[in-house]
């Protein structure tokens, strides 16, 4: 059985798999690098030429990171707590708000719908970095400085999330919604009982994207938060990194912090990846 | 009779405005957020680009300049036009490379071979990490560079063969090989999804007619995937130009906090930059529209 299956693998298959393995290995080099880098002792961090793999792995980088943080005015755990709170709040609200918007955009007719759709497409092209100051003025105008809402609200109206969800939700057959309506479901009922469960793959995708964005975002912490206790982990790591591109002192702390920022991304991705591949294939194209 | 129809019409109208209203109600939370944090800031930055924005105690002071900021960006600034042109050159080279690379990889991934699902996931994986923090961290640590460029002294070779004018651009692209690989995940996926829309019976038919796989690629796969190529080109352009690490956006951000130039000037530069991107996208769209039309005309 196994032998016959093995025999069916042609030379072409073999070459293809070999080529792809090489390419995939090449692509995962940076990930392997960042993993190894975090466990290198100080003398290996400055080896020249730099090595990929760690020779004597230690946890001292992480110890130093936590020590470094406890010496500072704000404890490390506070940054972690802030990040977790902000990410959870943003994820939940982005999912609810964007799905609601995408549902009506995909399935209903109402005023200004075309204008809204074209504005979404246009704003995809706009880099948010360039509008930092007007955003700051609005945030301070409604007194959201140094609150968690100040972190959450700017990420709330995400054009990308709605863009992807509209493509996905419009594929839900209209007959299904009509049947529910005839059975006496209200708008909210249809949304909560039918649209939400059916668009779980798309929601998984946007949660990954939103998570990536919010977890790594430093803009809200830099611009809207003046109180150090309200800033997030990403800001802390960034402030560690920015000061020492050429310095020797805290390279090891930076390496450990880099890995720490990276691990949650990996976990979230592994949890949702199959769903993501499904949505990417469904949305936007057909 | 007439009163009845009138009443019915009135009811229908009421019903329609009711459902319209409900639709808008569902949109409302998102719409408020979108207006407050996307539309108004963008509009504000247009307004600011026509002004000199001065920071005074207690707020901003605007001084109307008209088009002066835009003129300065081209005539007075020593860095901006040069940076803009080199960056566009680089991107014009990068976009086709990324799209063609993605096309080749997805063609191969579309073959049947053991474990292809794992490979699809692997090629998509970098997209997830290629955001913000992790990426900039990688670049700081130098993992985005390819060591063989220095090892084999490629720079002089490129200089000899391409000529000194383009050498810098080509070198920049070469240095970003890993970035190209990393940026093709979504494109590969779009292509693979696109290939599924071509029905396998066509391939069978041409095989019976004696076409080689090479012919069937040029005559069937490629023409059928033109819409997906155009989608990918657009996606790549937008992706690359809004990439936060790019030199133009960095320069614009630097200028925002400078005292002598300020936010007004930075906004003007941002709008010039977006103007160029819009032109590029319009040209790409027009080209693809034309090829599609000639195809349709011929068949």
pLDDT digits (tens, 9 = 90+) for B1-40: 566 777 777 777 667 666 677 777 888 888 888 888 888 8
Same domain, residue pair A159 and A225: yes
Same domain, residue pair A130 and A248: yes
Q: Is the pLDDT of residue B105 over 80?
A: yes
CB nearest A273 (choices: B37, B121, B136): B121
Task: For residue A37, give its domain range.
Answer: 2-60
- What mean pLDDT do residues B124-149 have? 56
Of these ranges, A95-99, A157-161, B124-128, the one predicted with the greatest mean pLDDT is A95-99
**N-terminal to C-terminal alpha carbon distance within chain B:** 55
Confidence of residue B118 (pLDDT cuts 50, 70, 90): confident
Same domain, residue pair A107 and A41: no
pLDDT, mean over chain B: 76
Chain B residues in contact with A23 (beta carbon < 8 A): 105, 181
Q: Interface pTM (ipTM) of the complex?
A: 0.72
Three-state DSSP string of B145-159: CCCHHHHCCHHHHHH
Same domain, residue pair A54 and A137: no
Q: Is the pLDDT of residue B179 over 80?
A: no
- What is the pLDDT, as a whole number, of residue A283? 46
Query: Domain tally for chain A?
Result: 2
- Indicate yes or no: CB of B114 within 8 angstroms of CB of A103: no
Q: What would the two tokens of residue B295 be?
A: 């195809």
Confidence of residue A281 (pLDDT cuts 50, 70, 90): low
- What mean pLDDT do residues A5-19 have? 71
Q: Which residues of B136-170 are buried (b: 16+ CB within 10 A; e: fewer)?
A: bbbeebebbbeeeeeeeebeeebeeeeeeeebbbb
> Could you report the per-residue pLDDT of A25-63, keeping only the tens digit for each?
776 766 777 777 778 777 776 666 666 677 777 777 788
Same domain, residue pair A30 and A171: no
- What mean pLDDT do residues A149-156 have? 85
- What mean pLDDT do residues A223-232 have? 83
Q: What would the two tokens of residue A177 be?
A: 């919604």
Question: Which alpha helices (DSSP H) does A108-232 contain, by range?
Answer: 113-124, 132-141, 148-156, 159-169, 174-182, 187-190, 196-198, 200-216, 219-224
Q: What percent of chain A has pLDDT over 90?
A: 4
| Dist. CA A177–CA B244, nearest whole Å | 41
Q: How open is the CA angle B8-B14-B20, to the nearest 5 degrees?
A: 135
Q: What would the two tokens of residue A240 be?
A: 């560690």
A205: closest CA among A267, A266, A278? A278
Same domain, residue pair A104 and A157: yes
Whole-angstrom CA distances from B86 to B80, B82, B93, B157, B183 are 10, 6, 11, 21, 20
Confidence of residue A2 (pLDDT cuts 50, 70, 90): low
- Indicate yes or no: CB of A159 within 8 angstroms of CB of B34: yes
Same domain, residue pair A155 and A30: no
- Indicate yes or no: CB of B120 within 8 angstroms of CB of A277: yes
A97 in Cβ contact with B29 (< 8 Å): yes
Domain B69-130+183-298 has CATH 1.10.357.10: no
Q: What percent of chain B has pLDDT over 70?
A: 71
Chain A residues in contact with B111 (beta carbon < 8 A): 16
- What is the pLDDT, as a whole number, of residue A284? 40
In a domain, A69, yes or no: no
| Dist. CA A50–CA A62, nearest whole Å | 21
What's the CATH code of the domain at A216?
Answer: 1.10.3720.10
- The least confident of A122-131, A179-188, A203-212 is A122-131
| A237 SS3 class | helix
Same domain, residue pair A104 and A46: no
In a domain, A66, yes or no: no
Question: Which alpha helices (DSSP H) does chain B contain, by range?
Answer: 2-34, 40-49, 68-75, 80-109, 116-129, 132-140, 148-151, 154-162, 164-175, 177-182, 185-195, 200-208, 213-216, 222-224, 226-241, 247-257, 262-298
A27: contact with B, CB 8 A cutoff: yes
B295 in Cβ contact with B223 (< 8 Å): yes
> Could you report the per-residue pLDDT of A62-89, keeping only the tens digit for each?
887 777 666 667 777 888 889 999 999 9
Confidence of residue A93 (pLDDT cuts 50, 70, 90): very high
B289: closest CA among B226, B223, B197, B219? B226
| Dist. CA B243–CA A260, nearest whole Å | 23
Residue B225 vs residue A48, higher pLDDT: B225
Confidence of residue B140 (pLDDT cuts 50, 70, 90): low
- What is the pLDDT, as a whole number, of residue B9? 76
Same domain, residue pair A147 and A197: yes
Q: Identify the residue whose tokens are 């996931």.
A: B121
- Indicate yes or no: CB of A130 within 8 angstroms of CB of B249: yes
- What is the pLDDT, as a whole number, of residue A89? 93
B210-217, Cβ contacts within 8 angstroms, sequence gap of 24 or more: B217/B107
Same domain, residue pair A156 and A50: no
């Amino acid at each position: 059985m196994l032998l016959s299956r093995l025999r069916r693998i042609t030379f072409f298959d073999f070459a293809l798999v070999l080529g792809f393995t090489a390419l995939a290995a090449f692509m995962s080099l940076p990930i392997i690098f960042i993993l190894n880098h975090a466990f290198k002792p100080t003398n290996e961090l400055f080896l020249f030429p730099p090595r990929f793999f760690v020779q004597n792995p230690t946890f001292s980088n992480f110890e130093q990171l936590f020590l470094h943080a406890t010496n500072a005015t704000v404890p490390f755990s506070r940054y972690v707590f802030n990040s977790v709170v902000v990410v959870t709040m943003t994820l939940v609200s982005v999912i609810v708000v964007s799905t609601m918007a995408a549902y009506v955009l995909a399935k209903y007719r109402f005023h200004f719908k075309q204008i809204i759709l074209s504005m979404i497409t246009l704003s995809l092209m706009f880099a948010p970095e360039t509008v930092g100051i007007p955003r700051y003025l609005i945030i301070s105008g409604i007194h959201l400085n140094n609150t968690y809402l100040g972190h959450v609200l700017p990420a709330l109206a995400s054009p990308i999330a709605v863009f992807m969800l509209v493509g996905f939700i419009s594929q839900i057959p209209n007959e299904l919604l009509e049947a529910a309506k005839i059975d006496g479901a209200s708008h909210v009922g249809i949304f909560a009982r039918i649209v939400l469960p059916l668009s779980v793959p798309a929601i998984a995708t946007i949660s990954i994207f939103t998570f990536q964005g919010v977890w790594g975002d430093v803009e809200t912490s830099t611009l809207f938060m003046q109180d150090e206790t309200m800033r997030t982990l990403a800001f802390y790591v960034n402030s560690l990194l920015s000061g020492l591109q050429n310095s020797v002192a805290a390279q090891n702390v930076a390496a450990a912090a880099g890995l720490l920022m990276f691990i949650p991304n990996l976990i979230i991705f592994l949890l949702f990846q199959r769903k993501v591949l499904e949505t990417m294939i469904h949305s936007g194209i057909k | 009779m007439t009163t009845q129809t009138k009443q019915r019409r009135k009811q229908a109208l009421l019903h329609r405005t009711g459902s319209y209203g409900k639709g808008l109600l569902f949109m409302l939370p998102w719409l408020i957020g979108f207006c407050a944090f996307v539309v108004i800031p963008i509009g504000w930055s247009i307004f600011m680009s026509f002004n000199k924005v001065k920071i005074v105690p207690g707020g901003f002071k605007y001084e109307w300049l008209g088009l002066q900021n835009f003129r300065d960006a081209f005539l007075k600034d020593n860095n901006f036009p040069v940076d803009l042109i080199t960056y566009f050159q680089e991107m014009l080279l990068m976009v086709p490379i990324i799209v063609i690379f993605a096309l080749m990889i997805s063609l191969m991934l579309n073959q049947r071979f053991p474990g292809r699902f794992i490979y699809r996931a692997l090629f998509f994986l970098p997209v997830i990490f290629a955001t913000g923090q992790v990426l900039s961290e990688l670049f700081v640590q130098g993992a985005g560079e390819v060591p063989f460029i220095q090892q084999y002294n490629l720079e002089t070779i490129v200089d000899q063969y391409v000529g000194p004018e383009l050498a810098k651009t080509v070198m920049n692209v070469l240095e970003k090989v890993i970035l190209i690989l990393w940026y093709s995940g979504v494109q590969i996926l779009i292509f693979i999804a696109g290939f599924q829309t071509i029905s396998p019976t066509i391939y069978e038919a041409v095989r019976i007619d004696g076409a080689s796989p090479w012919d069937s690629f040029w005559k069937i796969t490629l023409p059928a995937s033109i819409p997906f190529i155009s989608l990918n080109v657009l996606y790549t352009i937008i992706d690359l130009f809004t990439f936060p690490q790019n030199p133009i956006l960095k320069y614009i951000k630097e200028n925002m906090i400078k005292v002598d130039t300020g936010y007004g000037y930075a906004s003007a530069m941002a709008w010039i930059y977006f103007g160029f991107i819009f032109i590029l996208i319009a040209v790409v769209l027009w080209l693809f529209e034309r090829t599609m039309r000639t195809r349709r005309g011929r068949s």
